[in-house]
Amino acid sequence: MTTIMDGKKLRDKILSGLKSEIQTFDKKPVLAVILAGDDAASRIYVNNKKKTAENLGIKSIVIEYPADVGENILLEKIEELNLDKEINAILVQLPLPAHIDKQKVIDTIAPIKDVDCFTIENSGRLYTGLEPYVYPCTPQGILYLLDEYKINLEGKHVVVIGRSNLVGKPAAQLALKRNATVTVCHSHTRNLSDITKTADVLISAVGEVLIEDDMMKDDCVVIDVGIFRDCNGKVRGDVNFETVSKKASYITPVPGGVGPMTIASLMVNTVKLYKEQNKRSS
Ligand code: NAD
């Protein structure tokens, strides 16, 4: 029998615990979000993050810039937020306008306020096995789902499709930390299905419908990170849910699987950074 992993239910559970915890704090945690440009999807994401944060008792400040903002303006604002003791977490909404050096902007965030774990320092900590303050939100969300459904990765073959810094690489690294045997596939991988057929756990983060039921073995755990709109405007994931869900032991739906976990992780990460900063200043 296939279990559908319910990201919305788990998100609500995590956020309800977090809300109770925040009510015991003297001060509200504060998340600052930088939004540059006029990407419609980014605006929706930022609004959702703000709404979720405020519901929990996290103060959310959104700092908006036009698409032609100078890089220096962003760097100066981040320096200012770094020094501001009221700000606990900083998020730069991606994508940034093309003329801006994304990594330079991200690396200006103080590592202790880097809520996405994207700075070189925090990535370095993650990839060398040192603990960063928080893990990147989407891969962290995947771990929450695996834990909720008691899926142990030890000794399992985890196949990750996608090698972005946002999802694929950190997801692979976190699976390694859990003692999985990990294979990372990407757009240059040959004979993809020969590899996916050997997966005990398949994590797909691509952004196109790619995974069919003949690409996996029976009882595989399938985590679908992909989210995009197809030509009919329907929200889709990487996995052909209809067929794959008949064969998988566990599967995440799209929407309602990994997506809600990403936002839950962002809130948890904000609170973790808040607590870490309070610990240091006490
Ligand atoms: P990306 O474009 O940076 O990376 C896509 C990866 O897929 C690349 O590494 C590429 O090599 C690989 N790829 C492309 N075509 C392939 C193919 N035919 N076979 C094998 N690999 C192939 O994207 P990203 O930022 O990593 O996001 C991936 C998907 O996950 C997108 O749909 C994005 O919207 C979604 N996403 C969802 C969440 C969430 O919370 N659910 C969060 C982040 C990203």
The pTM assigned to this predicted structure is 0.97
Q: Which of 103, 164, 184 to mutate to test the pocket of ligand 1 (most atoms within 8 A of CB)?
A: 164
Cα 237 to Cα 230: distance, rounded to the nearest angstrom: 9
Cα 102 to Cα 85: distance, rounded to the nearest angstrom: 25
Task: Give the mean model confidence (pLDDT) for residues 143-150.
Answer: 98
Q: What is the pLDDT of residues 28-37, one digit of tens each?
A: 999 999 999 9
Cα 278 to Cα 282: distance, rounded to the nearest angstrom: 6
Instruction: Kindly give the distance from the C-alpha atom of residue 131 to the centroid of ligand 1, in angstroms, as a whole number.
Output: 25
Confirm if 219 and 248 have CB atoms less than 8 A apart. yes
Q: Evaluate if residue 87 carries a pLDDT over 90.
A: yes
Share of the chain above pLDDT 70, in %: 100
Q: What is the pLDDT of residues 212-235, one digit of tens each?
A: 999 999 999 999 999 999 899 999
> Residue 56's pLDDT is what?
98
Where in the chain is CATH 3.40.50.720? 137-258
> Residue 282's pLDDT is what?
80
Share of the chain above pLDDT 90, in %: 98
- Report, at the CATH architecture level, how domain 137-258 is classified: 3-Layer(aba) Sandwich (3.40)
> Residue 281's pLDDT is what?
87
> Residue 46's pLDDT is what?
97
Cα 155 to Cα 176: distance, rounded to the nearest angstrom: 10
Instruction: Kindly give the distance from the C-alpha atom of residue 167 to the centroid of ligand 1, in angstroms, as a whole number.
Output: 7
By annotation, the residues acting in catalysis are: 49, 93, 116
Q: What is the pLDDT of residues 254-281, one digit of tens each?
A: 999 999 999 999 999 999 999 999 999 8
Task: Give the mean model confidence (pLDDT) for residues 3-20.
Answer: 98
Output the six-digit token pair for 79.
Answer: 């320096």
Q: Which of 192, 215, 225 to mutate to test the pocket of ligand 1 (most atoms within 8 A of CB)?
A: 225
- Kindly indicate the confidence band of residue 198, based on its pLDDT and cuts at 50, 70 and 90: very high
Task: Give the mean model confidence (pLDDT) for residues 90-104.
Answer: 97
Cα 123 to Cα 149: distance, rounded to the nearest angstrom: 27
The minimum-distance atom of ligand 1 relative to the CA of 227 is 32
Task: Give the mean model confidence (pLDDT) for residues 97-105.
Answer: 97
> Residue 72's pLDDT is what?
98
Task: Give the mean model confidence (pLDDT) for residues 110-122.
Answer: 98
The upper half-sphere exposure of residue 247, i.e. CA atoms within 13 Å in the direction of its Cβ, equals 20
CATH of 27-113, one of 3.40.50.10860, 3.40.50.300, 3.40.50.150, 3.30.70.3420: 3.40.50.10860
Where in the chain is CATH 3.40.50.10860? 27-113
> Residue 84's pLDDT is what?
98
Cα 282 to Cα 269: distance, rounded to the nearest angstrom: 20
Cα 266 to Cα 136: distance, rounded to the nearest angstrom: 8
